[in-house]
Amino acid sequence: HNMKWPDWPSTCGKPAIPPTINTRIVNGERAKPHSWPWQVSIQPNTTFFHTCGGTLIHKNWVLTAAHCFINYADELQRWRMCLGKHNLTYAEPSERCFSVLGIYRHEGFKYPTVPTVEFDIALVRLDGEVTPSQEISYACLPSIEEVLPGGKKCYATGWGDETGNSLNATAAQALNQVALPVVPYDTCKRTDYWWFQVKPSMICCGYTLPDELKSVCQGDSGGPLVCKDAPTDPWEVHGITSFGPIGCIMNKKPSVFTRSSAYIPWIENHAASGTSGHPPAKWFTSVSKISPWRKASCA
């Protein structure tokens, strides 16, 4: 993947500690510690509680969802990005937490002014350089406009709401993973699925029948959906967790992710210009702290 950025990582998508891939698991499960080494925990530093996930794609940059910064996007000192984490409840020798030099949300992201979470993508510039380790390394980006075939198995990871109670969401202590098959766009946009809420710049993943699925709570707002083309290929971040009927099993309501392959030029342009690019607009909203990803109605 020939990127325009300086110092693009020479290797990506190859965890030093390989994840446990069991195609039979439809429910979420505990991840093998540090087997998804690009997983980021995004924490507002008022309390340093985990609010969103992210994906490490470069020594200076984290890829995540724009909706994670509906609050405090212009207050960089409020945020920290933690790498090398498995259990959120205590400090781990492998962890490295960074302050933030910039938060760049996609200019097209207008939620909640406009009731769509299109363009739900953001880049976070770390204050410092990541030194890769056994527990910290990069995910690869997909090819421009690469669209995955229906049924392809991908993995969502995060410290999402383990209880499935979306009103009283609590982060899991240890990182979870869940295998999710891709739902084709033509299916996902049907009136009995997500209909007009899903756009071609999104990717749907999940099980479409309740008996196939117990819960996808293991994902995380802003966190990675990764897939690989062949068993020996590197892991690519194809999705950024955006929204879904989390906390309840709904027929024909798979989880919806921002399709990162639709935004490769945007990612390249923002990262290549370093920390330039316009500062994020101030957002004054009365949006609850619960992100769109947890908010979809179960009624």
To the query of whether residue 58 is one of the catalytic residues in this protein, the response is no
Number of domains in the chain: 2
Residues 234 and 270 in one domain: no
4/7 Cα distance (integer angstroms):
9
* Contact (CB, 8 A) for 34 and 94: yes
Per annotation, catalytic residue among 50, 67, 106, 270: 67
Give pLDDT tens digits for 86-115. 999 889 999 999 999 999 999 999 887 877
Per annotation, catalytic residue among 58, 120, 220, 242: 120
Domain-located, residue 292 = no
Domain-located, residue 79 = yes
Domain-located, residue 207 = yes
To the query of whether residue 229 is one of the catalytic residues in this protein, the response is no
To the query of whether residue 67 is one of the catalytic residues in this protein, the response is yes
Q: Which residue has the tokens 């992201």?
A: 109
277: pLDDT strictly greater than 80: no
Residues 99 and 240 in one domain: no
* Contact (CB, 8 A) for 40 and 82: yes
Give pLDDT tens digits for 196-221. 788 999 998 887 665 555 444 445 78
Residues 71 and 164 in one domain: no
Residues 129 and 48 in one domain: yes
Lowest pLDDT segment from 7-11, 53-57, 165-169: 165-169
Mean pLDDT of the chain: 80
Domain span at residue 57 reads: 37-138+263-277
Q: Which two tokens stand for residue 282?
A: 């101030």
Domain-located, residue 85 = yes
Question: SS3 for 110?
Answer: coil
pLDDT for res 271: 83
Domain-located, residue 175 = yes
Question: SS3 for 39?
Answer: strand
pLDDT for res 211: 52
Give pLDDT tens digits for 122-155. 999 999 999 999 999 999 999 999 999 988 989 9
Residues 240 and 96 in one domain: no
| Mean pLDDT computed over 185-193 | 89
Residues 115 and 179 in one domain: no
Phi, psi of 256 (to 5 degrees): -115, 135
Domain-located, residue 148 = no
pLDDT for res 113: 80
Domain-located, residue 209 = yes
Residues 64 and 92 in one domain: yes
Domain-located, residue 199 = yes
275: pLDDT strictly greater than 50: no
CATH number at residue 118: 2.40.10.10
| Mean pLDDT computed over 50-76 | 90
Per annotation, catalytic residue among 221, 255, 260, 291: 221
